[in-house]
Amino acid sequence: MSVASAFQSSKIVPDVIPVPPSKIIELKYPSGAVAQLGNELTPTQVKDQPSVSYDADPNSYYTLIFTDPDNYDGPEKIYREWHHWLVVNIPGSNVSKGEVLSGYIGSGPPQGTGIHRYIYIVYKQPGKINFDEKRLTNKSVDGRAAFSTQKFAEKYNLGTPVAGNFYKAQFDDYVPQLYKSLGA
């Protein structure tokens, strides 16, 4: 299945972005888990930041967004998306050299909320950008709710995404430990 058709059949288009990416982001977790366009992984498997790779121009800058659009199931769609990781001004595909706006937080779907989609999206930036977002550590949940990948991309003129991948996850025994580490 192509990245574009997987994003469409999983309703990531139009829930998160209007146009699907065409290339894959390779995601490998320290646990050995690998995201494969909608396979199910556990919060325990994805608790640590993955290695991320994608086709990139080494002379360009990229933005990486990791988001959960199933955070809130109420009528106000604004609250649905919760971003887990946000790295910008990535030189080529060297994510470790990018500017971290929001530190990595693994999946933590609350008990009883069913299966959530966890989506990685990469945009090629028009150039190096001065981002005015609040910087968040991986212990801060401040400002992560009510995120909109689409609005963020529009604000910084990121265009359409160039690469993506996703997996699905539901509550497991690790989630309460994650919440505790976040002070929740």
Total number of residues shown for the chain? 184
Domain range list for the chain: 3-181
CATH number belonging to the domain at 3-181, selected among 3.90.280.10, 3.40.50.880, 3.40.50.150, 3.40.50.1220: 3.90.280.10
Residue 54 structure tokens? 């994608």
d(CA 50, CA 72) in angstroms, rounded, equals 25
Residue pLDDT, tens place only, 45-72: 999 999 999 999 999 999 999 999 998 6
CB-CB contact of 27 with 52 (8 Å): yes
Task: Give residue-wise pLDDT tens across range 91-121.
Answer: 999 999 999 999 999 999 999 999 999 999 9
pLDDT tens-digit series, residues 20-45: 999 999 999 999 999 999 999 999 99
Percent of the chain with pLDDT over 90: 89
Eight-class DSSP state of 138: T
Beta strands in 22-169 (DSSP E): 23-24, 26-28, 39-40, 51-53, 61-68, 82-91, 99-102, 116-124, 163-169
pLDDT of res. 183: 85
Name residue 166's beta-bridge partners: 119
Alpha carbon 142 to its chain's center: 16
What is the pLDDT, as a whole number, of residue 75?
60
Eight-class DSSP state of 144: T
pLDDT band at residue 184, thresholds of 50, 70 and 90?
confident
Bridge partners (DSSP) listed for residue 26: 53
